[in-house]
Amino acid sequence: MGNCLKRNQTQLQQNQQCPKCLMVFLAQSSALQYQQHVTNCRVRQIQNPPAQLRNVQVGDVVIEPNHHQNPNPNPNPNPRTTPHYIQEDFQNRKQKYYWCKELLPGSKIKYKWNKKLTPPMPAANVSEMLALPWVQIKNSEFPIKQTWFRLQLEKKRIPWQQGAETLSVNKESFLMTTLNMYKEINWHKEVKVHIDGDKVLDAGGLLREWANLIMKEIIHPESGMFQIADCDDVSYKINSEADTDEHIIDCFKLLGIVVGKCIFERIPLNIYFDRSIIKHIIGQPIFLEDIYYYDRQLYQSWDFLVNNKFEADDLSEYFVVYRQSKRDYYELKQGGQNIQLDMDNCQDYVNLCIEYYTYLSVKPFLTAFLSSLYSIIPKQLLSLLEPLELEMILYGTPFIDINDWRDNTDYKGAYYRTHQTIQWFWEILEQLDQFNLAKFLQFCTGSTRTPVEGFRKLESNRGNCSKFCVESVPFTKASPYPKAHTCFNRLELPMYETREDIEQHLKAVIQADLDGQFGME
Q: Which of 100, 231, 444, 487 is the catalytic position?
A: 487
Q: Catalytic residue at 487?
A: yes
Return the bridge partners of 329, or none: 322
Give backbone dihedrals phi and psi of 33, rounded to 5 degrees, phi first.
Answer: -65, -40
Residue 295 per-residue DSSP state = B
Residue 144: C-alpha distances to residues 105, 129, 132, 151, 510 (Å): 23, 9, 11, 11, 36
Strand 97-103, strand 111-117: pairing: antiparallel
CB atoms within 10 A of CB 166: 22
Burial (CB count <10 Å: 0-12, 13-18, 19+), residue 334: exposed
CB atoms within 10 A of CB 66: 11
Torsion of CA 454, 120, 410, 519, to 10 degrees: -50
**Which strands, in side-by-side order, build the sheet including 56-58?**
16-17, 24-25, 61-63, 56-58
Inter-residue contact 358 to 227 (CB < 8 Å): no
Give the whole-angstrom CA distance, residue 518 versus residue 171.
Answer: 9
CA torsion sign for 231, 234, 238, 243 is: positive
Give the whole-angstrom CA distance, residue 36 versus residue 183.
Answer: 13
Give the whole-angstrom CA distance, residue 355 versus residue 334.
Answer: 15
Calculate ∠ Cα 281-286-288, nearest 5°: 145
Using DSSP's 3-state secondary structure scheme, residue 485 falls into strand
Using DSSP's 3-state secondary structure scheme, residue 98 falls into strand
Give the whole-angstrom CA distance, residue 369 versus residue 391.
Answer: 17
| Among candidate residues 70, 247, 229, 237, the one with its CA nearest the CA of residue 162 | 70
Give backbone dihedrals phi and psi of 439, rounded to 5 degrees, phi first.
Answer: -65, -40
Length of the chain: 521
Give the whole-angstrom CA distance, residue 390 versus residue 485.
Answer: 29
383 contacts: CB under 8 Å, gap ≥ 6: 282, 283, 284
CB contact burial 113-147 (16+ within 10 A = b; e otherwise) = eeeeebeebebeebeebeeeeeeebeebebbbbbb
Q: Which residues are catalytic?
A: 487
